[in-house]
Structure 1
Amino acid sequence: MPKDGSTNRARILDAAEQLVIDHGYAATSVDRVLEAAGTSKGAFFHHFDSKLALARALTERYVAADLDQLNAGLDATADVADPAERVIAFLRYYEDRGDEIMGAQSNCLYVAVLTERQLLDAGTADLVRGAVQAWRAEIARLLSAAADGRATDLGDVEDLADHVFTTFEGAFLLCRATGSPQHMRAQLGVLRRLVGAALGVDDRDAARST
């Protein structure tokens, strides 16, 4: 183990994340986290002052990974010259990685955080709002560039940006409810085709990101 105990901290966070997603924050006791992580209370309180501190650290880590996902899609499509084709390539980037996304996480932590009054009052939910706003702003920026000078059926780009984000969240729920990870890829594919039709882009000819 590294001298700074980072492996133990990560193990606690991994265990807590799955428990909070599966059972909610209120039903996830520190003892339950320790049992799942295979560690002691001493180790827990070495890294976290309280259960609330654990929740904040857990949310910070999840948000950072989520924003990394956003930036990965933006970076992978940065060289697509046509703005409308870039939107399609951006959506297809996640569609192509749908199984990978579901393999990394079985559900979204955001719902668990936003439904807990204690976390709302403690400001932890503000981290989630910041991440959601970042996705919304970047997607809206892509859509605005794509719609510029085109006759489209996109409607309000901010509403559509919200729809892109909620498609991810809805797909998580659908995958969880049915026990099949394939819905993530399928729903993102439906979204890509609908946006492509609204932009008048034949996505068979659109640039494909690597």
Structure 2
Amino acid sequence: MLTDSHEPPTQETSTQADSQSGSGPTSLFRDKILIGTVIGAFVLDQVSKRIITSWLQLGESWPSEGFFRITYGTNSGTAFGLFPNHTTLLIVVSLVAIGFLFYFYRAHAMPSLLLRFAIGLQLGGAFGNLIDRVLNGKVVDFIDVGPWPIFNLADSSIVVGIFILMAVFLLTKESTEERQTAPATPENESQDPQASIPASAQDE
């Protein structure tokens, strides 16, 4: 007599199936797009800062005049010079922000390419400024554009990532609203094609 050898799926086998099919949460450290973006943004930020500190004196600009200049400056606060000399607080805030970005990524089972790229930019920029604050108590700024406060590539990476993230949410929201407002197909027409035939015609 044949017996049924199939066993009910356990939690372990379900988890393995999810990871193989791609329906479960994406593995953070296996996401080449995310990891590559984080490393790229971080390395570019750190290399650019090392070049500036070895090339210019603190407060020096190149060229000396113009709308766009390279000016070596430091900032012990946040963007635009807010909250200066609060290094410990800013380190804690940076760690919380990084933790939230990791959680936000893990909350999406199948994050899109743009979403992964946006999160990677923000993480790379956050790590870049965090390292500066931990090692030096301040960050190096050098991008001097018109009347705006001086900033660095890490700041740019974070801001661009935020804008991309906002664009992804807006596009997703519009797509969801379009699906919700689309006219539904009548069930009677889709399930019973003879329902619309008059009874007299059916009798014939």
Alignment TM class, shorter chain as reference: under 0.3
The structure whose residues are more often helix, as a share, is 1
Task: Look at both structures and tell me which one has the larger radius of gyration over its CA atoms.
Answer: 2
* TM-score computed with the length of structure 2 as normaliser: 0.27
* TM-score computed with the length of structure 1 as normaliser: 0.27
